[in-house]
Structure 1
Amino acid sequence: MDVPFLLSEAQMRRIEPFFPLSHGVPRVDDRRIVSGIIYVIKHGLMWRDAPKDYGPHKTIYNRFIRWSRLGVFNRIFAELAGKAGEPDRIMIDATHLKAHRTAASLFKRGALSRCIGRTKGGLNSKLHAVCDGLGRPIMMLLTEGQMSDHKGAFLLLSALPNAKELLADKGYDSDWFRAALVERGITPCIPPRSNRKVQYHYDKALYRQRHKIENVFGRIKDWRRVATRYDRCAHTFMSAISIAATCCYWL
Structure 2
Amino acid sequence: MTDIFLLSEAQMARISPFFPLSHGVPRVDDRRVISGIIFVIRNGLRWRDVPASYGPHKTIYNRFIRWSEMGVFGRILVELAKGGGETDEIMIDATHLKAHRTAASLLEKRLLPRFIGRTKGGLNSKLHAVCDSQGRPRALFLTAGQVSDYTGAAALLSSLPPAKALLTDKGYDADWFRAALADRQIEACIPSKSNRKVQIPHNKRLYKKRHKIENMFGKLKDWRRIHTRYDRCAYTFASAIAIAAIVIFWM
For the aligned pair, the TM-score class normalised by the smaller chain equals: over 0.9
What is the CA RMSD across the aligned residues, in angstroms? Answer: 1.3
Distance 2:35 2:150 in 1: 37
Q: Residue 43 of structure 2 aligns with which residue?
A: 43
Give the CA deviation at 1:194. 1.5
CA deviations on 1:144-189 (whole Å, 9 max, x unpaired) are: 1111111110111122122110000010011111111112111000
Give the CA deviation at 1:110. 4.8
Q: Residue 220 of structure 2 aligns with which residue?
A: 220
Q: Which runs of 5+ in 1 are unaligned?
A: none
Q: Residue 206 of structure 1 aligns with which residue?
A: 206
Local SS of the residue matching 1:231: coil
Q: Which runs of 5+ in 2 are unaligned?
A: none
Judge which range, 142-151 or 83-92, deviates more.
83-92
CA deviations on 1:99-127 (whole Å, 9 max, x unpaired) are: 11111113423522111111111111100
- Alignment of 1:94 with 2:94, yes or no, is yes
Distance 2:57 2:83 in 1: 33
CA deviations on 1:64-113 (whole Å, 9 max, x unpaired) are: 00011111110111101111134221000000011111111134235221
Q: Residue 151 of structure 1 aligns with which residue?
A: 151
Distance 2:163 2:150 in 1: 19
Distance 2:106 2:235 in 1: 16
Distance 2:38 2:31 in 1: 11
Judge which range, 229-238 or 99-108, deviates more.
99-108
Q: TM-score, normalised by structure 2?
A: 0.97
Local SS of the residue matching 2:159: coil
CA deviations on 1:7-35 (whole Å, 9 max, x unpaired) are: 00010011111111222222211100000
The one-letter code matched in structure 1 to 2:43 is H
Query: Alignment identity in percent?
Result: 70
The one-letter code matched in structure 1 to 2:215 is N
Q: Residue 75 of structure 1 aligns with which residue?
A: 75
The one-letter code matched in structure 1 to 2:167 is L
Give the CA deviation at 1:195. 1.8
Corresponding pairs, count: 250
The one-letter code matched in structure 2 to 1:193 is K
Cα pair 1:107 1:232 within 8 Å, conserved = no
Local SS of the residue matching 2:126: strand
- Alignment of 1:84 with 2:120, yes or no, is no
The one-letter code matched in structure 1 to 2:6 is L
Distance 2:74 2:107 in 1: 23
